[in-house]
């Protein structure tokens, strides 16, 4: 058990000027993991002042100088990879195998991608006597969630630094340990004072103060739509750019000739392994009506065979939810689905049997709801738990219509044997990312949503462009 008693401001561990101290517990068993300081608006002010001061120098560095720092960052990140993974497990309950196999490597890919972006991008371009220059927007506020903390913190930080922005990071309250290890990594890489600052704190206090702060040039936010509206509103009077990556209710379209092993594989990988706590989780599976029984006969036993339990145990397939509050929310959604007329063919309310005296952990059963129609709340709202809505379709046209009948547009999944048909369906789904059959996710590709799933793109060149402003020198 270790306390986090400081923020990171101007290159040093700093005691907050105001705020509170809060206890943290492990999602696996409710045991205490240490206390964390929550800063206040005065701390935000100090961090922005430091970031602003450092911007004067950092914004005028060459891409090569920024690449050199990011390369150091990568070395330190690799050196602390196991600590980062353990911190993720302690913060939000991801199984340790997933933390090591996905959370940390995907964060690493973002740093490597930002290096490539800074190397490949023409920050200055001449068109006759006109010079087009891409310049950093200013100190960047990075407001991140708890569900994929290392990926989000590493991705946003690397893109902002590659662009020449300085950073004030406000991690999620439930990801303080991951943020702390990440800050140590950034510090050990030799980041100049003030270029990276971290303020722990509550969103409504620290996050909103950052969004509103006139010294911040750009906000990059990942989280819920409700919070994004608050962040955007707080930022509006200063007209700063606000990049958002939000939630989803991503459809998985199974075509009439779909291979169900492939479809179920994607459910495991993108939904159950994360206990449903992924913005792009395939939470609505659209199944050809004639093959519904067959699909369930493949899906249900595979879910019932999952080991739900201690995320610190390498044998665990699915860990707990992040918190008791999230557990209550997910229980509420399962009950609401049942009240709306859905039926649970596996899972349902309550806690599963979990070995090892972990009664206080936030465990939930993988749950499949059938008899769902797309107008039910359970099919429209993001649940952020391992709860799938299975919806029948009679034609591919109907499946596409159901897929697009959502305010969200983050991701979609299409499974079918006919490659041309799969690609045609993918082109008609309004979503920022479409995964075909058992495709690997390319973590270097741009990531972001259509519609109410957000307005920016993260990662790689596109991620860096979000932090850049365009200047034109006429007669240059
Ligand atoms: P989640 O539901 O995944 O926790 P949130 O959108 O609530 O998502 O949180 C994402 C991030 O936004 C967290 O770092 C949180 O502290 C922060 N946050 C919450 N409320 C606000 C707010 N009013 N202004 C700015 N940031 C906020």
Task: Report the topology of domain 251-436.
Answer: Aldehyde Dehydrogenase; Chain A, domain 2 (3.40.309)
Q: Is 64 a catalytic residue?
A: no
Is the CB of 197 inside a 6 Å radius of any atom of ligand 1?
no
368: left (phi over 0), alpha (psi -120 to 50) or beta: beta
Atom of ligand 1 nearest to the CA of 223: 6
The tokens describing 455, both together, are 């307005």
Is the CB of 410 inside a 6 Å radius of any atom of ligand 1?
no
Instruction: Compute, in angstroms, the gap from residue 91 CA to the centroid of ligand 1.
Output: 16
pLDDT digits 0-9 by tens, 329-387? 999 999 999 999 999 999 999 999 898 889 899 999 999 999 999 999 999 999 999 99
Is the CB of 207 inside a 6 Å radius of any atom of ligand 1?
yes
Atom of ligand 1 nearest to the CA of 230: 23
Q: In testing the pocket of ligand 1, which one of 22, 92, 143 has its CB within 8 Å of the most ligand atoms?
A: 143
Q: For the purposes of burial, counting CB atoms within 10 Å of the CB of 88, is it exposed (0-12), middle (13-18) or buried (19 or more)? A: buried
Angstrom distance (rounded) from CA 342 to CA 334: 9
C-alpha separations of 371 from 193, 251, 269, 402 in Å? 57, 16, 24, 15
Angstrom distance (rounded) from CA 103 to CA 311: 14
Selecting among 90, 173, 180, 245, the annotated active-site residue is: 245
pLDDT digits 0-9 by tens, 116-127? 999 999 999 999
Angstrom distance (rounded) from CA 400 to CA 284: 12
Give yes or no for a contact between 182 and 189, defined as CB atoms under 8 angstroms apart. Answer: no
Which residue has the CA at smallest separation from atom 8 of ligand 1? Answer: 223
Angstrom distance (rounded) from CA 173 to CA 149: 11
Selecting among 76, 165, 279, 382, the annotated active-site residue is: 279
Atom of ligand 1 nearest to the CA of 147: 3
Angstrom distance (rounded) from CA 245 to CA 248: 10
Instruction: Compute, in angstroms, the gap from residue 144 CA to the centroid of ligand 1.
Output: 7
Give yes or no for a contact between 182 and 150, defined as CB atoms under 8 angstroms apart. Answer: yes
CB count within 10 Å of CB 172 equals: 24
Atom of ligand 1 nearest to the CA of 143: 14
Walk along the chain (476 residues) and give the pLDDT tens digit of each residue.
799 999 999 999 999 998 899 999 999 999 999 999 999 999 999 999 999 999 999 999 999 999 999 999 999 999 999 999 999 999 999 999 999 999 999 999 999 999 999 999 999 999 999 999 999 999 999 999 999 999 999 999 999 999 999 999 999 999 999 999 999 999 999 999 999 999 999 999 999 999 999 999 999 999 999 999 999 999 999 999 999 999 999 999 999 999 999 999 999 999 999 999 999 999 999 999 999 999 999 999 999 999 999 999 999 999 999 999 999 999 999 999 999 999 999 999 999 989 888 989 999 999 999 999 999 999 999 999 999 999 999 999 999 999 999 999 999 999 999 999 999 999 999 999 999 998 999 998 999 999 999 999 999 899 999 999 999 999 98
Q: Is 279 a catalytic residue?
A: yes
Give 378-382 contacts, CB < 8 A, sequence gap 24+: 378/333, 378/336, 378/337, 378/340, 378/342, 379/249, 379/284, 380/249, 380/406, 380/407, 381/249, 381/333, 382/224, 382/247, 382/248, 382/249, 382/279, 382/283, 382/408
- Assessment of whether the complete model's pTM goes beyond 0.95: yes
Helix (H) or strand (E) holding 11: none
Domain limits of the chain?
3-246+453-474, 251-436
User: Considering only the top CATH level, what class is 3-246+453-474?
Assistant: alpha beta
Q: Count CA atoms closer than 13 A to 235's CA, side-chain side.
A: 24
């Amino acid at each position: 058990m270790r306390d986090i008693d400081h923020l990171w401001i101007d290159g040093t561990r700093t005691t907050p000027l105001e705020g509170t101290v809060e206890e943290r517990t492990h999602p696996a068993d409710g045991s205490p993991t240490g206390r964390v300081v929550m800063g206040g608006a005065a701390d935000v002010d100090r961090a922005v002042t430091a970031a602003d001061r450092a911007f004067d120098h950092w914004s005028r560095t060459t891409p090569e100088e920024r690449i050199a720092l990011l390369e150091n960052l990568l070395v330190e990140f690799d050196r602390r990879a196991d600590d980062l993974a353990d911190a993720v497990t302690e913060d939000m309950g991801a199984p340790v195998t997933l933390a090591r196999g996905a959370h940390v490597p995907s964060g690493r890919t973002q740093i490597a991608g930002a290096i490539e972006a800074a190397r490949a991008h023409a920050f200055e371009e001449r068109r006759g006597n006109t010079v087009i220059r891409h310049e950093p927007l200013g100190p960047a506020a990075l407001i991140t969630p708890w569900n994929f903390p290392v990926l989000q913190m590493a991705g946003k930080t690397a893109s902002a630094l590659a662009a020449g922005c300085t950073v004030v990071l406000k991690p999620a309250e439930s990801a303080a340990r991951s943020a702390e290890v990440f800050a140590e990594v950034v510090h050990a890489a030799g980041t100049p004072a003030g270029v990276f600052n971290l303020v722990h704190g509550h969103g409504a206090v620290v996050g909103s103060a950052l969004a509103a702060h006139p010294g911040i040039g750009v906000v990059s936010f990942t989280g819920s739509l409700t919070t994004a509206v608050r962040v955007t509103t707080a930022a509006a009077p200063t007209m700063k750019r606000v990049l958002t990556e939000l939630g989803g209710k991503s459809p998985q379209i199974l075509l009439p000739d779909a291979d169900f092993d492939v479809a179920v594989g994607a459910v495991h990988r993108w939904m159950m392994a994360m206990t449903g706590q992924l913005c792009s989780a395939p939470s609505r599976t659209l199944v050809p009506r004639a093959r519904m029984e067959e699909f369930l006969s493949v899906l249900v036993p595979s879910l019932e065979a999952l080991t739900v339990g201690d995320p610190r145990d390498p044998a665990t397939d699915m860990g707990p939810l992040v918190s008791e509050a999230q557990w209550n929310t997910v229980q509420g959604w399962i009950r609401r689905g049942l009240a709306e007329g859905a039926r649970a063919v596996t899972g349902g309310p309550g806690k599963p049997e979990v070995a090892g005296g972990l009664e206080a952990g936030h465990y939930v059963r993988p749950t499949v709801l059938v008899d769902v129609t797309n107008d039910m709340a359970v099919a429209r709202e993001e649940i952020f738990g391992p709860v799938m809505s299975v919806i029948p379709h009679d034609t591919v046209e109907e499946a596409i219509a159901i897929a697009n009948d959502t305010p969200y547009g983050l991701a979609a999944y299409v499974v079918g044997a006919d490659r041309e048909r799969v690609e045609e369906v993918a082109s008609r789904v309004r979503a920022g990312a479409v995964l075909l059959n058992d495709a690997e996710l390319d973590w270097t590709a741009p990531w972001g949503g259509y519609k109410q799933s957000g307005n920016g793109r993260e990662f790689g060149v596109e991620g860096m462009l979000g932090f850049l402003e365009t200047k034109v020198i006429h007669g240059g």
